[in-house]
Amino acid sequence: MAAPSQLQELLQLSDDTVTLVVGPDARKLVIHHSVIARASPVLAAAFGSSNSGSSTWKEGEERTMTLMDDDVDAMQILLHFAYSDQLPKHIILPAGYVNDDHPGLYTKLAEACCLGEKYQNRRFNNAIASAITANCSTPSLEAVHYYPGSISIGTIYDGTCVGSKVRKLMVDL
């Protein structure tokens, strides 16, 4: 849950909203300017200062940014984190989970991690790394531990920088 001061700030959101058009299906996500600015210094620069629309970027003037290469689910995880300061519950596995109920979970976490790196949100990436570690440590109903597979590891290696801590985590697991 968000810290009390952050919760008060969220309850008093009165600034403008911006629109992200995400993924190949052009899904529109409307977000408060102050939240997107907190989520990413890159997006903060693109949209300029709140309420004024002052930005040298076209996106800042139009209050819309098209991100066709980004994954919608990963962006929703990032935005959930930006609003609440925590990851969505559905990406943290409960003890005794059934593996078939969570297909592609590590791939979604990997895609979210790459998005966090792209938009320079270190706190988000630390939370994703913690979620991966926690999920690896949580036994399934069959008392089996599941780990990221080659697709998830490849996604992380392709979408993060050489010195990324999440890359190191993939090796350490």
Q: Where are the alpha helices (DSSP H) in the chain?
A: 4-11, 33-39, 41-47, 58-62, 72-84, 105-118, 122-137, 150-159, 165-172
Is it the case that residue 31 has pLDDT exceeding 80? Answer: yes
pLDDT tens column, 97-156 = 887 778 789 999 999 999 999 999 999 999 999 999 999 999 888 888 899 999 999 999
Classify 53 as helix, strand or coil: coil
In angstroms, the CA 140 to CA 102 distance is 11
Tokens standing for 32? 């408060």
Q: What is the Cα–Cα distance from 42 to 2, expressed in whole angstroms?
A: 23
Average pLDDT over residues 86-95: 89
**149-172 mean pLDDT:** 93
Position 96 confidence tier, pLDDT thresholds 50, 70, 90: confident
Report for 51-65, 74-88, 89-103, 137-151: range of highest mean pLDDT: 74-88
CB 10 within 8 Å of CB 27: no
Q: Mean pLDDT in the chain? A: 87
* Mean of pLDDT values over 82-96: 90
pLDDT band at 4 (very low <50, low <70, confident <90, very high): low
Could you give the C-alpha distances from 147 to 7, 59, 155, in angstroms and in order? 34, 39, 14
Please give the Cα distance from 21 to 52 (Å, whole number).
Answer: 21
Token couple for 171? 């090796």
Q: Give the pLDDT score at 158.
A: 95
Nearest CA-CA partner of 28 in 14, 37, 38, 18: 18
